[in-house]
Amino acid sequence: MNMPDRETMPSASAPEVSARAAALPREALRIAAGYAFSGPALQLGALLWDGQCLPDAQVRVPLAMLNRHGLVAGATGTGKTKTLQLIAEQLSAQGVPVFLADIKGDLSGIAAPGRPDARVEGRAVDVHQRWTATGFPAEYYALGGIGRGIPVRATVTGFGPVLLSKVLRLNRTQEQSLALIFHYADSKGLELIDLKDLRAVVTFLTSDEGKPELRRVGGLPAATAGVILRSLTAFEAQGASGFFGEPEFDTGELLRTAEDGRGVVSVLELSAVQERPQLFSTFLMWLLADLFHDLPELGDVDKPRLVFFLDEAHLLFDDASEAFLESITQTVRLIRSKGVGVFFVTQTPEDVPADVLAQLGNRVQHALRAFTPDDQKALSATVKTFPKSPYDLEEVLTGLGTGEAVVTVLSEKGAPTPVAATRLRAPESLMGPLGQEALERAVAQSPLHERYARAVDRESAYERLERGRGAKGPDEMRDAVSGRGGRAEEQPSMAERVAESGVFRSLARSVGTQIGREITRSLFGTARRSGRRSRR
């Protein structure tokens, strides 16, 4: 099966659909006409009607609408992963970079050509797909270096108090206290690179020498600081230290295109950290929040700048504080104007808060099961989230096969398209994991490997506080911190002395840090110092 270049692939227009009217049932024709877009569009599949696949009625999504966000949902084993792969391939072919969270390790094969077999060929015939085995440019990452990909790390300062509170499972009061500790560290120039830096700051503030400083933070209760310290210690004991540190990942890497103009598919391997779902889901939100903070406004675009898929999306919202949910909602609402589309991937729409769900204009709903009363409730709730349709959606959603879904997207005018039961196309890249040798070779040959592979542990808050503590006896250090032993208004705290020392200033210049410059924090409290880096 040969396929022309994607740039020359025909896209059916309204007149072409009208010419086929005699071959389509009346209601099916009305649905098909809703997907006859004039501009560039991704091909999802062919319409299912009355138990038949109608290949002349193609179901599409306009490329320009992919920054209006979306939802890919369905029970386990219904084909969500293949849907992500199908959409990612076509976005890459259109020059749009894609980010994929690879929970199960099944998406790494996107870089290799697929293998034709009877199922693939049968699906291609069913939906009139001109299938050809094709690999796509891909970059492989691993969270904290746990896995085979290029390590993705964040500094504690960059991660911020809101997201860190989520992974530490702090309550609202404790979250606010952690924010005060970050504010103290920011104001004193104590850079929080890894968890031991934060632990050192909290330990100092809860020590006899640091209690006066603690009061200056804003009435932070010592008991709450102790809870935070214990949570940090337990978090480190779980092996979380490797996720925080330097070099911090530059999310601008996710915006790259290959030399042939295709978008790079960034695959973040998460299978090795599945036992830490709270951590990896929050790290995904950090990546998105970082992009949101730094990218310029674009307004309406012909195609997205990046499409970001958040798998296992329910983990983001489980036990989330009100502030965290508000931040997600606002980020999703505003990042569209920066050219970034976000797709939440989960089992049912009920997993996503209503304020977020209302912003997801593109929907691909795979089969749901109704084995229990709770399943039936979720099914009924899912049906209510779709526009009015000629289908009996409860019946359709429980009867869909693997690789079939109910679709509604935003038209080129921004209006919802008719609900369409769809047999989806087959991905053209390898549907499964890339071989271990091929994956390791791809990572080793990446131009990013040298930049991020090796962790750097330079002097930061922990070392400076330790040095300050070792340099003075208890009484003298207490005087320095409290401002006693001279004119109080002129006596800097121990932290200020460290930050103002010649050694510190020299180090800051030599490593290019921005300590002492303004630190700005985004909706999620993620830190960006002015002039930190430029975007591609």
pLDDT band, residue 392 (cuts 50/70/90): very high
Q: DSSP secondary-structure letter at 365?
A: E
To which H or E segment does residue 105 belong? none
Q: How far is CA 39 from CA 14, 64, 84, 256, 413, in A?
A: 12, 8, 22, 24, 11
Intervals of CATH 3.40.50.300 along the chain: 63-113+130-153+252-452
Which residue from 190, 100, 226, 94 is spatially nearest to 468, judged by alpha carbons?
190
Cβ atoms 431, 108 nearer than 8 A: no
**Pairing between strand 362-365 and 404-408?**
antiparallel
Amino acid at the residue 191: E
Is the pLDDT at 10 greater than 50? The verdict is: no
pLDDT band, residue 4 (cuts 50/70/90): very low
pLDDT (tens digit per residue) in 284-325: 889 988 888 889 998 788 999 999 998 888 888 887 777 778
pLDDT (tens digit per residue) in 153-176: 999 999 999 889 988 989 888 998
Query: Can you say how many angstroms the Cα of residue 188 is from the centroid of all Cα atoms in its chain?
Result: 31
pLDDT (tens digit per residue) in 201-220: 998 888 888 778 777 777 67
Q: Which residues contact 518 (CB under 8 A, 6 or more apart)?
A: 529, 530
Cβ neighbour number for residue 389 with a 10 Å cutoff = 16
> What percentage of the chain reaches a pLDDT higher than 70?
82
To which H or E segment does residue 498 belong? helix 494-500
pLDDT (tens digit per residue) in 56-108: 999 999 999 999 999 999 998 999 999 999 999 999 999 999 999 988 888 99
pLDDT band, residue 528 (cuts 50/70/90): low
Which residue from 228, 203, 24, 1 is spatially nearest to 115, judged by alpha carbons?
1
Average pLDDT over residues 374-386: 90
The span from the CA of 33 to the CA of 59, in Å, is: 10
Peptide bond into 247 cis (omega under 30): yes
The span from the CA of 430 to the CA of 491, in Å, is: 65
Q: At what angle do helices 211-218 and 474-482 cross, to 10 degrees?
A: 20
Q: Which residues contact 304 (CB under 8 A, 6 or more apart)?
A: 63, 66, 67, 91, 96, 339, 340, 341
pTM: 0.84
For CA atoms 386, 392, 394, 399, the dihedral sign is negative
The span from the CA of 293 to the CA of 525, in Å, is: 10
pLDDT (tens digit per residue) in 232-263: 988 888 778 889 999 999 999 999 999 999 99
- For domain 63-113+130-153+252-452, give the fold: Rossmann fold (3.40.50)
